[in-house]
Amino acid sequence: MSDYSVNFVVMNLNIPEYISNYIAGSFQKPLNGQYIPNVNPAIGEIYSHTPDSSRADIEEAVGAAKTAFAAWSVTSAEERFKILNRIAELIDSNIDILAQAETNDNGKPLWLSKRLDIPRAASNFRFYATGLMHFATESHHMEDKAVNYTLRQPIGVVGCISPWNLPLYLFTWKIAPALAAGNCVIAKPSEMTPMTAYLLSIICKEAGLPDGVLNIVHGTGQNCGAAIVAHPDIKAISFTGSTRAGREIASVASPMFKKLSLELGGKNPNIIFADCDWDKMMRVTMQSSFTNQGEICLCGSRILIEENVYEKFKAELIERTKKLTVGDPLDDNSRQGAIVTKQHFEKVIGCIELAKKEGGTILLGGNSIQLQGRCMNGYFIEPTIIEGLGPNCRTNMEEIFGPVVTLQPFKTEDEAMMLANMSDYGLSATIWTQDVSRANRVAAKVHSGIIWVNCWLLRDLRTPFGGFKNSGVGREGGWDALRFFTEAKNVCIEL
């Protein structure tokens, strides 16, 4: 066992004050010597520093990846399986420290990190470790003329840029299929939540991933991320983040003819018909409204309710939300933690103020919260419910990405569809009804890439994931991810 493994197992909460980049299998400082303060949002204090990497660091990482690609691209599927599966096992065995690091960085409740984020990161590696063993291509027989077959070959060096809301969960969802397909990766986590990406680099070293196959470079989007997108030797970009950033990435990468996968924002409708399973709907609607402080691109932030049950729904949602505990993320009783940064905290508060100016009525919440004790300087916001706003206002059109939902009544199925499709986004939607025919009709008509019927956030990793309209380009998940990270080549052999 290497020294890295020993350090990782015994480090407990001994998080380094200065995080390192991981380039060519070594842990190193940013070449410019610059760092970014990393704040624990629950306490509002700096607890570590992240490299503020620049183009020079990316250049070094790309050089390492290009050197490693020749061997990794022809490494057998079975050998790649062993390494990626070992990464999954090490994530599982170190769930406590990874969950603690995720909560310290992001502000989410520790129980949520343990239950959702870290297990999903392990599942991502395990799924693609297994999937690559079954990834097959097609052949086509032209009678008495020729046989065609398709090769799917790794692209080369690819860039993976992930967001701050589900840091390790989404970071690994990009990295795992890229590595499985035989690519070498330049990966940038969010500078707001870098710690689990740093810990993952230690895990990959211990798992035996060859040097240079995965390079994790920390920094801002403006410097580090932009350098990844613009580098001519990085042939594909997989990005999850805001629609604004996605638009900027596309403007640079598209003229360079890079492959692009952009998973962007959401303003998702939660469509509730009167005939639904009421108790289940209420319970899951609470989850889809406020889980992870509402900082999930799949949260149902626009709740559309059939008119004859609108008042009943409103009263019950308010009562249930009053019981939702906002508190220290380390407290098992806390259902909602801290907002990720002071800047995002101020943005969410500003969105609530805008809703008031637009004529919205705050039914519950709408304020910041100052806790006592350890978290007295943390960034906490009450779960907020708003009604009285039309479908075209900014509050119902723009992504807030916080613990804020709006309520809108509808009379008919057609009106529900109109309201659901008003947004420029089209990532996900949830439909609540016991009428199977209605569920199928509505699912077909809603302009969203993911439709849940009588459930939410139930994910099968084999299925495609992505959105319509301003919610992105391309699909992640399952074979779609392995196809994205490979190039198809047709070979025709005349008989």
**CA 403 – CA 385 distance, rounded (Å):** 9
Q: 215 with 187: CB under 8 angstroms?
A: yes
Tens of pLDDT along the chain (495 residues)? 334 443 444 334 368 999 999 999 999 999 999 999 999 999 999 999 999 999 999 999 999 999 999 999 999 999 999 999 999 999 999 999 999 999 999 999 999 999 999 999 999 999 999 999 999 888 999 998 999 999 999 999 999 999 999 999 999 999 999 999 999 999 999 999 999 999 999 999 999 999 999 999 999 999 999 999 999 999 999 999 999 999 999 999 999 999 999 999 999 999 999 999 999 999 999 999 999 999 999 999 999 999 999 999 999 999 999 999 999 999 999 999 999 999 999 999 999 999 999 999 999 999 999 999 999 999 999 999 999 999 999 999 999 999 999 999 999 999 999 999 999 999 999 999 999 999 999 999 999 999 999 999 999 999 999 999 999 999 999 999 999 999 999 999 999
pTM of the model: 0.95
Q: 420 with 374: CB under 8 angstroms?
A: no
**CA 95 – CA 86 distance, rounded (Å):** 14
Amino acid identity of residue 398, one-letter, is E
Cα distances (Å, whole numbers) of residue 123 to 170, 201, 221: 11, 17, 27
Q: 446 with 459: CB under 8 angstroms?
A: no
**CA 54 – CA 451 distance, rounded (Å):** 40
Sign of torsion over alpha carbons 195, 201, 202, 207: positive
**CA 340 – CA 111 distance, rounded (Å):** 17
Q: Which residues have a catalytic role annotated?
A: 263, 297
**CA 22 – CA 296 distance, rounded (Å):** 28
